[in-house]
């Protein structure tokens, strides 16, 4: 069965990049972890048949999965894939999910990106919602998404477009048209964006629902995350933001050992 891709993120291991993928449809939803370069499945769990799995992301020691119309976010242990908790998601249908290292960023098929933050008791709290626009007009049908510090990349459902969004203003700054990658029909739309500097600092991994292939797009740092030659990148809002072509966190300072 080719995955009906609804969520996707990458994780680095000693033997290469691993893909974590959420595959949707009622009665056929599952989560899978596999090695990108060989396709070797390392972990797989079937999702309850009454659920349609959607966006997928990790934050801290947990992995979170949106559900399509059950208004829930499922929380899993990232290592064991064991379900630990269910959180309410009363903001609409669940579509896409990613993280900036501190919060979860979710889409619902509307023009909004919802920022969710785990509270002291672990519950997900709505912090804010951002309206995404292009030339003053709302960009709706926002779907699968990926945070590439400090920008957001998002698929627009039933189009060939992937937008780069400024998370401070909501403005769409760059549009990729990927129609030449794969000829799709019906619901087999483009949907799936992954990023890992180990695949190339300025590259995006792209796929779609039931697509037999993933594509690695090589961009410039300016297009990927708005880094211009000679610029000094500003620190992102989240101190745990993942590294990108536009941001490298400073290594922790070594403390001096006492002498004598």
- 108 pLDDT higher than 70: yes
The confidence score (pLDDT) of residue 109 equals 97
Lowest mean pLDDT among 31-35, 82-86, 193-197, 247-251: 247-251
pLDDT mean across residues, the chain:
93
Q: CB-based contacts of 235: which residues, under 8 Å, 6+ apart?
A: 247
Give the percent of the chain with pLDDT over 90: 87
* Helices (H), ranges, the chain: 221-225
pTM above 0.95, yes or no: no
The confidence score (pLDDT) of residue 231 equals 76
CA-wise closest residue to 75 among 66, 64, 67, 61: 64
Task: Average the pLDDT over 220-238 and give the result.
Answer: 85
Task: Average the pLDDT over 80-86 and give the result.
Answer: 96
Structure tokens at 176: 């990729």
Cβ distance 222 to 216 under 8 Å?
A: no
- 257 pLDDT higher than 50: no
- 255 pLDDT higher than 50: no
């Amino acid at each position: 069965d080719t995955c009906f891709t609804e969520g996707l993120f990458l994780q680095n291991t000693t033997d290469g990049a691993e893909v974590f993928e959420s595959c949707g449809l009622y009665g056929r939803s599952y989560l899978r972890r596999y090695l990108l370069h060989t396709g070797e499945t390392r972990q797989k769990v079937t999702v309850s048949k009454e659920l349609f799995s959607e966006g997928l992301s990790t934050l801290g020691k947990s992995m979170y999965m949106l559900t399509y119309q059950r208004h829930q976010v499922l929380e899993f242990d990232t290592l064991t894939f064991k379900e630990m908790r269910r959180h309410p998601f009363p903001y609409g249908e669940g579509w896409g999910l990613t993280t900036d290292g501190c919060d979860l960023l979710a889409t619902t098929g509307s023009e909004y990106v919802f920022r969710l933050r785990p509270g002291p008791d672990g519950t997900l709290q709505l912090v804010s919602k951002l309206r995404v626009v292009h030339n003053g007009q709302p960009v709706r049908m926002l779907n699968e998404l990926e945070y590439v510090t400090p920008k957001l990349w998002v698929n627009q459902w039933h189009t060939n477009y992937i937008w780069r969004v400024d998370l401070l203003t909501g403005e769409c700054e760059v549009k990729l048209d990927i129609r030449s990658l794969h000829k799709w029909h019906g619901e087999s739309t483009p949907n799936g964006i992954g990023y890992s500097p180990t695949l190339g600092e300025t590259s995006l991994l792209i796929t779609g629902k039931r697509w037999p292939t993933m594509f690695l797009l090589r961009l410039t740092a300016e297009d990927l995350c708005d880094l211009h030659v000679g610029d000094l990148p500003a620190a992102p809002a989240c101190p745990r933001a993942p590294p990108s072509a536009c941001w490298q966190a400073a290594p922790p300072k070594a403390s001096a050992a006492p002498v004598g």
